[in-house]
Amino acid sequence: MKEKNEGKFKHQIAYAKKNLVKISIDTKVEFREEFKKTCKDNNTTPTKVLKDFITKYIEKNKKV
């Protein structure tokens, strides 16, 4: 099975390594789990919620 999928995501992995960085925060485990559960209950993902928040925050607070 591994041979069949080997290289399947090669371009995505290369793109991510070259163009993406992580933003991380420290939280209590309970906080993280509640956030993940709330996102799932609302048919979304933590990544989507955080990216949307960051985008809106930048737009609202951008200095021209």
Q: What is the pLDDT of residues 29-56, one digit of tens each?
A: 999 999 999 999 999 999 999 999 999 9
Residue 51 CA: distances (Å) to CA of 23, 55, 57 = 10, 6, 10
Which residues form the domain of 37? 23-64
44 within domain boundaries: yes
**Tally of structural domains, the chain:** 1
d(C-alpha 61, C-alpha 64), whole Å: 9
CB of 50 closer than 8 Å to CB of 39? no
Q: What is the pLDDT of residues 8-27, one digit of tens each?
A: 789 999 999 999 999 999 99
40 within domain boundaries: yes
- For the chain, the residue count is 64
31 within domain boundaries: yes
Helices (H), the chain: 2-5, 10-19, 29-41, 46-61
